[in-house]
């Protein structure tokens, strides 16, 4: 990419579209930073090493007052996500739609 020396606008041709400068001197931007491309992508499968936050909510099965929760997009993207709960005590899982 090349930039106008007067105003710093990006040059598409020899004349600057912003200030009209027709200078032969142009600034060339070069990146000196080396970017490395990831060779592997870590994938965490559902249920493996999950750490879910706890909330105070009553379990509909055992009346415990504490459950883990997580969310998933189970419907179309323009609708709210579904919140899932898992009781700390009895491990019962239920969902809440909004």
Predicted confidence band of residue 49 (pLDDT cuts 50, 70, 90)? low
Domain 54-96 class?
A: mainly beta
| pLDDT at 85 (0 to 100) | 92
Of 27-36, 47-56, 65-74, give the lowest mean pLDDT range.
Answer: 27-36
Task: Read off the pTM.
Answer: 0.47
Eight-state DSSP code of residue 53: P
- For the chain, give every domain's residue range: 1-30, 54-96
| pLDDT at 90 (0 to 100) | 93
**Selection from 86, 89, 95, 94 nearest residue 63 by Cα:** 89
């Amino acid at each position: 990419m090349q930039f106008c020396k007067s105003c710093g606008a990006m040059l598409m041709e020899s004349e600057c579209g912003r200030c009209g400068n027709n200078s032969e001197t142009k600034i060339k931007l070069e990146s000196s930073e080396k970017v490395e491309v990831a060779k592997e992508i870590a994938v965490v499968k559902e249920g493996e090493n999950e750490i879910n936050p706890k909330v105070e909510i009553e379990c509909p099965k055992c009346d415990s007052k504490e459950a883990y929760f997580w969310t998933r997009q189970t419907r179309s993207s323009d609708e709210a996500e579904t919140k899932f709960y898992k009781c700390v005590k009895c491990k019962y899982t239920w969902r809440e739609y909004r």
